Amino acid sequence: MPRVVVDVMPKTEILDPQGKAVHGALHRLGFDRVVSVRQGKRFEIELEGDLTPEVVAGIERAAGSLLANPVIEEFTIHVEG
């Protein structure tokens, strides 16, 4: 079954409080060489049928309208399997 993966990350200029919290926790655990952490989301989308360019373009539209908010996030798409 073809799978399209969409990775969503907060834009670099947008504050990422969750990443900061994880960063702080890593320091408390002794990972003191960690300089920064940013947290994003990964969507694994399984599809039926052939993975045509049209299908991938459709996922790209879905990523730009629903999965990511382009005001504060950016996304990348790749095909797996």
Partner 1 sequence: MRIGVVTFPGSLDDGDAARAVRLAGGETVSLWHGDADLHGVDAVVLPGGFSYGDYLRCGAIARFAPVMQPLVGAARAGLPVLGICNGFQILCESHLLPGALIRNDHRTFLCRDQRLRVDSVATAWTSAYETGTEIVVPLKNGEGGYVADERTLDELEGEGRVVVRYLGGNPNGSHRDIAGITNARGNVVGLMPHPEHAVDTLTGPTTDGLGMFESVLGSRVAP
CB closer to partner 1 out of 20 and 56: 20
Going residue by residue from 5 to 24, which x/- string records binding to partner 1, judged by CB under 8 A? -----x---xx-xx-xx---
Whether residue 36 contacts residue 9, with contact meaning beta carbons closer than 8 Å, is answered with: no
What sign does the dihedral 53-55-58-60 (CA atoms) show? negative
The least distance separating partner 1 from the CB of residue 50, rounded to whole angstroms, comes to 27
Interacting residue with partner 1 among 4, 67, 75, 77 (CB under 8 A): 67
> Alpha helix (H) ranges present in 1-81?
17-28, 53-62
The least distance separating partner 1 from the CB of residue 22, rounded to whole angstroms, comes to 11
DSSP reduced 3-state for 24 = helix
Helix H or strand E segment including 45? strand 41-46
Per CB under 8 A, the segment of 29-37, 46-54, 63-71 that binds partner 1 is 63-71
